A and B are shown apart, each in its own frame.
Chain A
């Protein structure tokens, strides 16, 4: 048991130790300062800009940034639909995998351009190598888009009044080539040396001890798994994701992958401190996020290591904890740790089956996605947190009679309206679509019998989890759900699309509007935002919004299930 706890502590410590220098490096890149990678990667950047005909030094307003962001995503959407719906006719398909039907291609395309990576297909049989490479490309692009949007907000927060906010394409390409690519190469090489396949050959064959001929899927997996973790994408090469030994061969790779899940989201906070020259603010944000993370992590590890009460009632000893749906080589604690890190960030990869978590661990995993800002996704995690900071500044300013200012800019009705719309959109999408699916199932259980293996509280949790995961752009699943049907493909696709771009547009709009306002230097009347008191205020706002929004739904699902196991 102590070894398992030590494993978790080691992972978290290494994560923080790596995130601090990486944050400084990311800050330098967005500041346009020289770094040691310039000599190698400047030619690559210039090549991209030349091919695309982009002038990387042209300054853009916040509206131009968003227009560029949406345009490239629209182009990628059409491109991906074409590839996924025609895979069987295209090259790099040695196993003869079929093309996707329209609804599945719609779901998969949106899933990957939105950094969600919700997979309603199995990688082994549902996608050709060309399809996998296309999806891998989107894993870079979607992560780069999130980081570029975040870089705009960082740039705006400097103490000045301006409409010139850098160049979107410059931020985007540099996020991909300077941050995502080098880190992915390192991780891919580590995975490769530990046994993860990296080949374009088709299925391999071997004869089992029983004498059966078994086909084993393989492919360019190491490269995809590296960016899946570094870019908080989560979409695995194989159906069982990082629970399968080809994706996650041993405890060491489990540690490496788990560190990668939170590395860039955490580093972005330190990048903020570097760019704004406000390290104290960065540490306050980091501590608030860490507090929230620990609130979900500690009980989850406890419940998983304690074992499943239903099995205890049968008189079966569970010395290794609740091991249903978990890999023996990772254990209960490391599985719970992964379960929470993958859901507080928008990663969504799994090394155990979340459907088998004890009820409250399942609830904390869902809460991580419902809050969606404790570290969060690469770039977008901070954007979500930024919305809550705006709300907290306004509320606490009113409470103590101080001017609601954030980093020298007055927060007024317009910014509050946008922040409120964005904060409530996530809640609305999750609850509205869960209500719709529950209504359909309850109204005609025979027709929709294929959806749920468990029609009770757990079945409700599965539907709630699916839409929560879609709306948080997470992509993990409870997996007991029969989700490979048009209803789930289309509704989840719409939820992922709406919950990806509006929560990017909102914070960038707030930042852009604030950037145009007159800079007001801090005075005695200014509400300090880099103090512990303000940090607690932000934490309280996040938790109260989450509790008020989701407690009734959670009561019907995991909380009811928890009490039914007593």
Chain B
């Protein structure tokens, strides 16, 4: 049976745990996205450097 007290308890537990998880997940995805985007830009620059020789030999 779920009474008001239980609901409050669940909410309190969630309220205690959720922000930490949320912050951790957010931080993780933030770092992941940063790394992915920097790698994407580096790949683009690698393509540009390669394209110099490509255009020379085309």
Chain A residues within 8 Å of B, Cβ to Cβ: 63, 66-67, 70, 73-74, 77-78, 81, 85, 101-103, 106, 110, 414, 417-418, 486, 490, 493-494, 497-498, 501-502, 505-506, 509, 513
Contact = CB atoms under 8 A, between A and B. Distances in A.
A501 B48 contact: yes
B12 interface: no
B7 interface: no
A417 B54 CA distance: 11
- The 5 A-B pairs with the shortest beta carbon distances in the complex, nearest first, are A509-B55, A102-B34, A106-B37, A102-B33, A501-B48
Interface of B: 30, 33-34, 37-38, 40-42, 44-45, 48-49, 51-53, 55-56, 58
Given A67-B52, A77-B41, A110-B41, 9 more contacts: A66-B52, A70-B45, A74-B45, A81-B38, A106-B37, A106-B41, A494-B44, A497-B44, A501-B44
Contacts of B37: 102-103, 106, 490, 493
Nearest to A107: B37
A418 B55 contact: yes
A418 B53 CA distance: 12
A417 B34 contact: no
Contacts of A502: 48, 51
Contacts of A74: 42, 45
Contacts of B44: 494, 497-498, 501
B11 to A, nearest CB: 29
Contacts of B58: 414, 417-418
Contact of A506 (B38, B42, B49, B55): B55
Nearest to B40: A494
A490 B38 CA distance: 11
Contact of A505 (B40, B42, B52): B52
A74 B43 CA distance: 11
B34 A85 contact: yes
B48 to A, nearest CB: 5
Nearest to B34: A102
A497 B34 CA distance: 17
A103 B33 contact: yes
B32 to A, nearest CB: 9
Residue from B42, B45, B53 with most neighbouring chain A CB atoms (10 Å): B45
A254 B30 CA distance: 41
17 contacts: A63-B56, A70-B45, A74-B45, A77-B45, A81-B38, A85-B34, A102-B33, A106-B37, A106-B41, A110-B41, A417-B58, A418-B58, A493-B37, A494-B40, A497-B41, A501-B48, A509-B55
A494 B39 CA distance: 12
A525 B20 CA distance: 78
A70 B49 contact: yes
Nearest to A109: B41
Contacts of B56: 63, 509, 513
Contacts of B33: 101-103, 486
B22 to A, nearest CB: 15
A31 B1 CA distance: 88
A373 B48 CA distance: 22
A427 B40 CA distance: 22
Contacts of B41: 77, 106, 110, 497
Contacts of B38: 78, 81
Nearest to B48: A501
Nearest to A110: B41
Contacts of B34: 81, 85, 102
A505 B50 CA distance: 11
A91 B52 CA distance: 40
A63 B48 contact: no
A98 to B, nearest CB: 13
A509 B48 CA distance: 12
Contacts of A490: 37, 40
A355 to B, nearest CB: 28
Contacts of A501: 44-45, 48
A490 B58 CA distance: 30
Contacts of A414: 58
Residue from B34, B40, B44 with most neighbouring chain A CB atoms (10 Å): B44
A48 to B, nearest CB: 24
Given A102-B37, A106-B41, A70 B48 contact: yes
A414 B51 CA distance: 14
A102 B44 CA distance: 17
A101 B27 CA distance: 11
A51 B49 CA distance: 26
